[in-house]
Amino acid sequence: MKFDKGFNYKLRGKALEFTINTKIYSLKAIYQAAYLFLDKVYVFLDGDPEKEIKVIMKLKRPSFANASSSVPQSETSEDKSAGLEQIAGEFYNELLNQLLREKVSESNAKIREYIVSAALYNAVPNEVDRLLQEVEEEDWQEDPLGIAKTWEDKQNKEGLKKK
Amino acid sequence: MEVIKFNKKIYSLEAVKKAIEEFKSLAEFKIKDLDKYIEVEIDKIDNEYKGILKDEFSNYVLGLMS
C-alpha cells in the first residue's frame, strides 16, 4: 500500500484499489464522480455504503478509451500504473467537487423551491385573471336593448319618427 | 464464463436488469439473487467483445446508478 499525502491505494495487477470514507463523501457523490470517469477507466464499487466504499479502477484499452482522455495510453506497466494513479487522484478531486455541489444544492434548496414555485404560480392563470379576461371579452358595447342610450337620444329618434 | 458480483447496497437489481436488456445481443446473462450480492453469469460472449464485455457491462450498470 502506498501513502501519498493521505491518498491510500493498492495496485493489484492491472487494477488500482482505494477506499472512500462515506462519512465524508456520500454515495451519491461517489456515483456522480464515478460517472464522469466511465469513459477513461473501468470502475467497480464494493463495500459498505455506511462505512467505506471500495473503488476498483482499471484502465481501458487504448482502442476503447475515449480519445479525449488526458491520460496517455502507454504500453509499459509502470506507465499504466502511473496513469491509473493520476486518474485516481483526479477522481478524488472530482469527489470534492461533487461534495461541494451537494452542499451548495442543499443550502440553496429553499430559495430554489421558492423561485420555481413563484415561476409556476405566475405561469398558471389564476381565477381573477380568468374573470377579468371574460369581462374584457364580453360584447357589452353592442347594447342590443339600448340601455346605454341617453334620454335625449331616445327622444330625438322618437321625435323624428313622429315627424 | 465470467461472473460479476454486484453489491446490493450499491447496485440496484433494476439497473442490472436494464443493463442485461441492453447487452443481451452480445452474450447470455443469468442473474442469481444472493444474500448481499446480485450475481451475474455471462456466457457465450461475442468473440469481438470477449476481453472487455465484463468490464463494460459493470461500467454500464454503474452509469445507470448515477
- pLDDT at residue number A10: 86
- pLDDT at residue number A136: 81
Q: What average pLDDT does this structure show over A73-95? A: 79
Q: Does residue A98 lie in a domain region?
A: yes
Q: What is the CATH number of the domain that holds B23?
A: 3.30.70
Q: Is it the case that residue A78 has pLDDT exceeding 80?
A: no
- Nearest residue of chain A to residue B65 (CA atoms): A31
3-state secondary structure chain A: CEEECCEEEEEECCEEEEEEECCCCCHHHHHHHHHHHCCCEEEEEEEECCCEEEEEEEECCCCCCCCCCCCCCCCCHHHHHHHHHHHHHHHHHHHHHHHHHHHHHHHCHHHHHHHHHHHHHHHCCCHHHHHHHHHHHCCCCCCCCCCCCCHHHHHHHHHHHHC
Tell me, yes or no, if A49 comes closer than 8 A to chain B by beta carbon.
yes
The count of domains in chain B is 1
Inter-chain CB proximity A48 and B9 less than 8 Å: yes
Q: Does residue A80 lie in a domain region?
A: yes
Q: Is it the case that residue B61 has pLDDT exceeding 90?
A: yes
Supply the range of the domain harboring residue A37.
Answer: 2-107
Which residues of chain A neighbour B34 with C-beta distances below 8 Å? Answer: none
Is residue B8 within 8 A of residue B59, CB to CB? The reply is no
Banded pLDDT at A35 (limits 50, 70, 90): very high
The count of domains in chain A is 1
Inter-chain CB proximity A47 and B51 less than 8 Å: no
Say how many CA atoms lie within 13 Å of A43 toward its Cβ: 30
pLDDT, tens digit, for every residue of B4-60? Answer: 999 999 999 999 999 999 999 999 999 999 999 999 999 999 988 888 999 999 999
Rounded alpha-carbon distances, angstroms, from residue B2 to A31, A49, B13: 24, 26, 18
- Nearest residue of chain B to residue A36 (CA atoms): B63
Tell me, yes or no, if A62 comes closer than 8 A to chain B by beta carbon.
no
Q: What is the CATH number of the domain that holds A27?
A: 3.30.1360
pLDDT, tens digit, for every residue of A105-149? Answer: 989 989 999 998 888 888 777 788 888 888 887 766 677 777 777
Q: Does residue A35 lie in a domain region?
A: yes
pLDDT, tens digit, for every residue of A2-34? Answer: 545 567 788 888 899 999 999 999 999 999 999
Tell whether the torsion through CA atoms of B38, B43, B46 and B51 is positive or negative.
Answer: positive
- pLDDT at residue number A67: 45
Q: Is it the case that residue A75 has pLDDT exceeding 80?
A: no
Q: What average pLDDT does this structure show over A33-55? A: 94
- Nearest residue of chain B to residue A30 (CA atoms): B66
Inter-chain CB proximity A32 and B66 less than 8 Å: yes
Interface test with A, best of B10, B57, B58 (most A CBs within 10 A): B10
Q: What average pLDDT does this structure show over A144-158? A: 78
Q: Does residue A161 lie in a domain region?
A: no
Tell me, yes or no, if B62 comes closer than 8 A to chain A by beta carbon.
yes
Inter-chain CB proximity B10 and A27 less than 8 Å: yes
Amino acid at A44: F
Supply the range of the domain harboring residue B60.
Answer: 2-65
Tell me, yes or no, if B32 comes closer than 8 A to chain A by beta carbon.
no
Q: Give the number of residues written for chain A.
A: 163
